[in-house]
Amino acid sequence: GYPFVVVDPLEPPPDGIPTVSAMHAAGAKQATEHLLGLGHRQIGVLAGPEGWYATEERLLGFRAALAGAGILPDRQLIAHTDWQIGAGEIAAGELLDRPNRPTAIFAFNDNTAIGAMNAARKRGLSVPDDLSLVGFDDTSQALIVTPQLTTVRQPLAELGRTGVSLLMRLLE
């Protein structure tokens, strides 16, 4: 009987549960379209854990952008991680060691994108000259790496404010 609001749910909430979430699919579609616009057709993905709402929504946006460009997604270029830098480095390394390596990587958060930067450097690849890279979240880490990370801005403070505002209306 207590009012509540879910902000950034781990899994899709049941119908009727008030929820505030980022536009995961739209942001992922824009990021992928950016890479496609640069001429990339072999795009690797560093996704989050399978089944998580953010992961699945971002995959939908990624696939929608590829479909719009007439490209079928290559499952071999999609790696799932735990959102951490180390996992991103390992997963990106595996993608970059493939004979037909991706020319771009879309990381589903900035941590894994930074891990991908590390993996690229260890293989003598330059970002963005040899490998284009896009992250997601627009965290402070995206600004302090060299080069600065291209990333999708997720308005975390605004999501929190919206959640509180919705909860206040429910309480009233």
The answer on pLDDT for 102 being more than 90 is: yes
In the structure, what pLDDT confidence band is assigned to residue 95 with cuts at 50, 70 and 90?
very high
- The stretch 131-143 carries a mean pLDDT of 90
pTM of structure:
0.89
In the block, tokens 């795009």 appear at 43
Q: What percent of the chain has pLDDT over 90?
A: 72
- The stretch 63-80 carries a mean pLDDT of 95
- The stretch 8-31 carries a mean pLDDT of 88
Q: Each residue of 77-92: pLDDT tens digit?
A: 999 999 999 999 999 9
The enclosing H or E element of 47 equals: strand 43-47
Dist CA 138 CA 24 (whole Å):
13
**Greater confidence, 4 or 68?**
68
Q: Give pLDDT, residue 50.
A: 93
Burial of 168 (0-12, 13-18, 19+ CB in 10 A): exposed
Q: How many Cα atoms sit within 13 Å of 3 on the Cβ side?
A: 11
